[in-house]
Structure 1
Amino acid sequence: MAKRTKQPNGAGSVYQRKDGRWEGAAFLEALDGTRTRFRVYGKTWEEANAKLTEALANARKGIPVETTKLGFGDYLTYWLEQIARPKVRPSTYRSYETYVRLYLIPGLGKKQLKKLTAQDIRTWLVKVAKTCQCCLQGHDAKRPKQHKDPTKQQRCCAVEKCCRKVPSPRTVQYLHALVRSALAQAVREDLVLRNVAKNVQLGTVERPEIQALTLDEARQFLRQARKGRFYAVYAVALGVGLRRGEALGLRWDDVDLNNGVLRVRQALQRQKGEGLKLVPLKTQRSRRTIRLPDNLVKVLKERKAEQAAERLAAGSAWHDPHGLVFTTHIGTAIEPENLYRHFRAVCDAAGIRRVRLHDLRHTCATILLAQGVDTRTIMEILGHSTIVLTMNTYAHVMPEHQAKALNRLEEALGGLA
C-alpha cells in the first residue's frame, strides 16, 4: 500500500513516524478555549486516521478536546485540599483522605486523568473487593514479631496466614462514589469531557437492618439509665431522635424551657489535633426546631438544676465556654467514646441487647411509626434531607405499619367479607 501523508484541507494530517507508528495531528479547540495541536497515534494509517476523524467530528459538534496531562493521583490531591476540605465537615474530610490515600491513589493514581476509563474503574473496584487489605497495606508486618501481649505481635498476613480482610460491599460502593464525585468536579473545571465513573454499574448493596430497641427494651433501658448522671442525654436522644453529636453539642441557648422548644443548630465532634469542637450540621435539613413533650421539659429542668449544683461544687475548676446542656462534673464537653462506654454498661445492667448509641435515634423513629405517626412528621423530627431517606431507612417496619392502617380502614368500612 502506498504511503499516505496528506489529508484534505481542514482534516489535519496523518504521517508515519521514524519508530514506525502512525501519527495524526490537527489544530482543535481545547477545554480552556484555546486552539492546540491535538495528536493521536496508531499502528496503521487507518487506525490513526480513524482516531483523528473522530476528534474532528467532535470538534464540528462543538465538543472540545482534552489536553491535560495531569495524573489522577495528583488531581485527587488537589481535589481533597481545594474542593473537599473547604466544603465538607472535618470528619467527612478525614474519611475522604483515608480512602484516597489507602485505596484510590495506590490503585488508580498513576493513570492520566484524561485517559481514565470506565473499564479502569470497574476493574479496579472488582480487584479491591477481592484483595485482603491486611496483606496489601502490611498492617500486621508493622507489629513486632515478639511481644508479651500476643494480640500485639505479628499475626495473620505477616506470618503467611491471610485473614481475608476484604473490604465490605458498602466500602466498595463508597469508593465508587468518591471517584464519581471527584470526576464530577473535573468535568465542572473543564479538565475532562465526561465523568466516566457514571458508566460503572455496581450491584445493589443491602442496607444493614436497623437494630432498634423494642418498646419494652426502651422502657427497661430508661429505668436503668435513671440511676446515672447521663439519663438526660439518653432521654433526649431517645425522646426526639437526636444524633449523638447533636445531643452532646446542645447548648442552653438552643433550649426554650418556658415554651418547650429545642433547636438543633450544631454538633459536638472530635477534630484531629483540635480536640472536641462544635461544628455546623451536615445539611440544612439537619437544622431543625422540635416541640418538646412535657416529660422532656421536666427532664431538662432537672438537668439544669443538677448542672447548677455541679458548677457550684467545682468552683474555679468549672470550664464551660459554650454553655452546653450536657457536660462533665467540671463543665467540659463529654467525650463521645466515654458516653458510649457508659451506654453499653447501662444496656448490660438493664438486661437488654447491646445496640449502638445511635440506635436510640432509630428506636425513636420505629416507636413513632408503630404509634401511627406519619412519615413526613418523622422526617422533620429526625432532620432527614428527604422523605425517601426516611422511608428507605425504616422500610423494614413499614409493612407492619401499613397492615395496622389497612386494618383500621377495614374496620371503618364495616368489614370486607
Structure 2
Amino acid sequence: MATFKQYEKKNGSKAWQFQAYLGSDPITGKPIKTTRRNFKTKKEAQLALSRLQVDFNNQNNQLNTQSITFKQLYDLWLEQYRLKVKPSTVATARRFIEDYCLQYFGNLQVRKISVPYCQKIVNKWHSEYKQYHYFRKVVGQVLQFGIQMELIESNPMRKTLLPRRKEVETFPNFYTKQQLESFFACLNEHIEASGRTSTKLLTFFRLLAFTGMRKSEALSLQWKDIDFIKKRVTIGKTLALDENKTIIIQEPKTKNSQRIITLDKITLKILKEWRINQKKWYLNFGYNTSSPNQFLFTNKFNELYYPQAPNDWLYHILEKYDLPKITLHGFRHTHASLLFESGASIKEVQERLGHKDVKTTMNIYAHVTPEKIEETGERFANYVNF
C-alpha cells in the first residue's frame, strides 16, 4: 500500500513524494515502511516505488535465517525476555548489552561468531570493566536463545574461559556500633543546622540501619505498611526504573524478600514524628498526605524519588562531616553485622534481611566487626581453659 502526494518545496516549486509499506522483515516480522521525496512527476514517483519494491523482494528472497545478525537475534530475545523478568531487570540487561556488547557483536552474523573472537572480547572486557562477567553472561544468553530458535548449533560465548577477577582494594562497607552512632549524631546536626523542620532524612536512614531493608524497599514504603500497634513494617514491594527510566513499583527481589520486620521503640517514635511532620510540611505545598496509601518518602511535589536521590543525601553527609566511606547498601551490612554481635542466629538474620540463600548471610557473618572477631578467639580460649 502506498500514498502519493504533491508538496511545495522551499523555493516554491512543486514535487511529488510517496509513503509505502514494502513488506515485513523476514526475521523479526516487523513492518518495513519508507518515505521518498523530490520527484518531478507522480509517474516518476510510481516508477521509483516499483523499483524499490522489486529490490526489496529480491533481497528478501535471498535473506534467510543463515544471515541473521546478533542485533536481530538480540531484538528477538528481548521480546521474550520481557515476558519472564521484572521491568528493572530488562532495563539492566538492555543497558549492559546496548552500551557494552553491541559495538562488538551487533553487525556480526551469529553463525560466524567464533569462540576465539568471543574470548578476545571477554579478555578486553576483563581489562576494562568490573562487570565483565555479566557482559559475558548476557551475550551468552542471547546466543543460547539462538540455539533454542534453531538458528545456530552451538554457543561460542559459553565455551570461553572466564578470566580471574582482579584483586582490588575494597573498603569495609559497614559501620561499627560507634561509627553508626557518630553518623546519626552528624545527621541530626546537619538537620538542625539546615533549619529544616522535616525529619525525612532521619527517618529514612534510621529505617535502613535499624531494619536492614534495602533502599528500593524503603523508597516504596506507604504508611499502610507500618503497623504502629503491632510494631512492625511489611516489606512487599520495591521501587525501580523500567527500561524507559520511568519510576515503577514492582514485586521485591525474591519471595524471601517479602517479609515482616519488627520495629524498635525509638524507630517507631521517629516514624510517628515523621508522620505528623509530613502532614504539616506537605500541607504548606498544597498536598494532603493523610491517606494510608501515601508514600513515606516523596519530593516537594509529593512524587516518588528517583533511586539516585538517597545516594546524593548520603554523599553530602559523608563529605560534610568527613565520615568513613559507606554505601546505602552498607547500612544493610551494618544491620546484619550488629545483629550478629548482639547474639542473633544466622537463621534470624537471614529471615530479617530477606536473603534467599543462607550463603549471602554467611558472607556478611564473615565480615563482622574486628572487635567481634577478637571476642570469638577469647571465648574459645576461656571455654577450653588450658
Q: Structure 2 length as normaliser, TM-score?
A: 0.70
Letter in 2 for 1:174: Y
**1:186 equivalent in structure 2:** 146
Which secondary structure state, in structure 1, belongs to the residue aligned with residue 239 of structure 2?
strand
Q: Deviations over 1:59-115 (max 9, x none)?
A: xxxxxxxx85432231112212x1233333434323322332233222123443344
CA change 1:301–1:86 in 2 (3 A) is same
Q: Deviations over 1:192-220 (max 9, x none)?
A: 44444332221332585542222212101
Aligned counterparts, 1:247-258, within 5 A: 247-258=218-229
Shift of 1:402: 6.0
- Higher deviation after alignment, 186-195 or 398-407: 398-407
2:84 is equivalent to residue 87 of structure 1: yes
Q: Deviations over 1:312-362 (max 9, x none)?
A: 444457698941122345533234434333322333444412432232222
**Contact residue 97 and residue 139 of structure 2 kept, 8 A:** no
**2:101 equivalent in structure 1:** 104
CA change 1:112–1:337 in 2 (3 A) is closer
Which secondary structure state, in structure 2, belongs to the residue aligned with residue 226 of structure 1?
helix
**1:7 equivalent in structure 2:** none
Query: Residue 222 of structure 1 is aligned with which of 184, 191, 205?
Result: 184
Letter in 1 for 2:210: G
**2:74 equivalent in structure 1:** 76
2:238 is equivalent to residue 267 of structure 1: yes
**2:37 equivalent in structure 1:** none
> d(CA) in 1 for partners of 2:126 and 2:245?
34
Shift of 1:307: 1.9
**1:33 equivalent in structure 2:** none
- Higher deviation after alignment, 174-183 or 201-210: 201-210
> d(CA) in 2 for partners of 1:71 and 1:330?
46
2:175 is equivalent to residue 213 of structure 1: yes
Which secondary structure state, in structure 1, belongs to the residue aligned with residue 218 of structure 2?
helix
Letter in 1 for 2:175: L
**2:305 equivalent in structure 1:** 334
> d(CA) in 2 for partners of 1:105 and 1:286?
34
Q: Deviations over 1:88-147 (max 9, x none)?
A: 3434323322332233222123443344343331122223445xxxxxxxxxxxxxxxxx
CA change 1:118–1:277 in 2 (3 A) is same
Shift of 1:234: 0.3
Q: RMSD between aligned alpha carbons?
A: 3.1
Shift of 1:306: 1.6
CA change 1:311–1:73 in 2 (3 A) is closer
> d(CA) in 1 for partners of 2:93 and 2:292?
31
CA change 1:75–1:395 in 2 (3 A) is farther
Shift of 1:376: 3.0
> d(CA) in 1 for partners of 2:290 and 2:306?
15
2:315 is equivalent to residue 355 of structure 1: no
**1:61 equivalent in structure 2:** none
**Contact residue 220 and residue 350 of structure 1 kept, 8 A:** no
> d(CA) in 2 for partners of 1:238 and 1:318?
25
Q: Deviations over 1:210-231 (max 9, x none)?
A: 4222221210111232353210
Letter in 1 for 2:70: F
**2:217 equivalent in structure 1:** 246
2:276 is equivalent to residue 305 of structure 1: yes
CA change 1:325–1:102 in 2 (3 A) is closer
Letter in 1 for 2:144: A
Aligned counterparts, 1:227-238, within 5 A: 227=189, 228=191, 229=199, 230-238=201-209
> d(CA) in 2 for partners of 1:338 and 1:124?
35
CA change 1:245–1:315 in 2 (3 A) is same
Letter in 2 for 1:179: V
> d(CA) in 2 for partners of 1:191 and 1:408?
62
Q: Deviations over 1:34-64 (max 9, x none)?
A: xxxxxxxxxxxxxxxxxxxxxxxxxxxxxxx
> d(CA) in 1 for partners of 2:149 and 2:371?
49
Letter in 1 for 2:333: H
> d(CA) in 2 for partners of 1:362 and 1:311?
33
> d(CA) in 1 for partners of 2:72 and 2:291?
43
Q: Which has the higher contact order (CA 8 A, sep 6+)?
A: 2
Aligned counterparts, 1:262-411, within 5 A: 262-271=233-242, 275-316=246-287, 322-329=293-300, 331-392=302-363, 395-397=366-368, 404-405=375-376, 407-411=378-382
Query: Residue 117 of structure 2 is aligned with which of 108, 115, 120?
Result: 120
Give the unaligned 5+ runs of structure 2: 1-64, 192-198
Shift of 1:382: 2.1
> d(CA) in 1 for partners of 2:287 and 2:96?
44
Letter in 1 for 2:138: L
Aligned counterparts, 1:41-80, within 5 A: 68-80=66-78
**2:20 equivalent in structure 1:** none
Q: Deviations over 1:345-390 (max 9, x none)?
A: 3334444124322322222122223334333322222222311223
Q: Deviations over 1:387-409 (max 9, x none)?
A: 12233355444887566445434
**Contact residue 175 and residue 331 of structure 2 kept, 8 A:** yes
**2:21 equivalent in structure 1:** none
Which secondary structure state, in structure 1, belongs to the residue aligned with residue 297 of structure 2?
coil
